[in-house]
A = this chain, B = another copy of it.
Amino acid sequence: MANHAKYDLILDALEKLLTGRNLQTISVSEIAQTAGIGKGSIYYYFPSKEAIFEALVERNYEKPLETAKKLAGQIQISPFTRMAMIFQACRSSSSAFLDRQQSPLQANPQENSLLHQKYMNHLITEVKPALTEIIRQGIQAGEIHFDYPAALAEIVLIVLTVKLDNSLVPSPVEDIEETLLGLISLLEKGTGNPVGSLNFLTTYTQTPS
């Protein structure tokens, strides 16, 4: 009922315009021009400028979220493996989008904050249930020792999202790595898992060079 061709056309135009540019400097007229349609049509498909951004966020996370939900039910796979798969799916779909904005020596990395924050919110809200379920299964299977599965899921998601985005709280690369190592260590010790069992979280930082 939704996705007309133009709907995605508008989103494509915005995505294209977003390359190396500040969110605030993109006008609705410009989006319309890039999409090759009239400005009025934009407001036929979207109620406001902000709604376009939100729709773009949702479209980008559509696939990894499906993956996460499916994975939550696949109890024959080890919980750790499933977690790794979810993180990988989220990472690959978000990096394609977010990395583009960390253009070389951008004056103020916080400028596109609104978009980044929408990503963070969307991802945490949507992935949390699946991740919680997986952790809960891991607890029942005796692989994870912890009393608050939902809290654990949220903590991991929050820290990973904030640190890996690196736009909400910008910091040098070595800080990101240290925080990640610390998180892994904290999780391993806190959930009674052997050292190294959560190392898949660090693959997060390795961008395919």
Binding site for B on A (CB under 8 A): 110, 113-114, 117-118, 120-121, 124-125, 146-148, 150-152, 154-155, 158-159, 162-163, 168-171, 175, 178-183, 185-187, 189-192
Contacts and interface: CB of A to CB of B under 8 A. Distances in A.
Contacts of A113: 113-114, 117
B179 A190 contact: no
Nearest to A122: B169
Interface-centre pick from A146, A148, A192 (highest chain B CB count, 10 A):
A148
Given A113-B114, A124-B169, A179 B159 contact: no
Classify the interface of chain A: helix, strand, loop or mixed.
helix
Nearest to A110: B121
Given A158-B159, A159-B158, A169-B158, A148 B185 contact: yes
Which 10 pairs, one residue from A and one from B, show the smallest C-beta to C-beta distance?
A: A151-B182, A148-B182, A190-B190, A186-B190, A189-B190, A151-B179, A154-B179, A151-B178, A124-B169, A121-B169
A175 B151 CA distance: 8
A138 to B, nearest CB: 15
B120 A185 contact: no
A186 B156 CA distance: 11
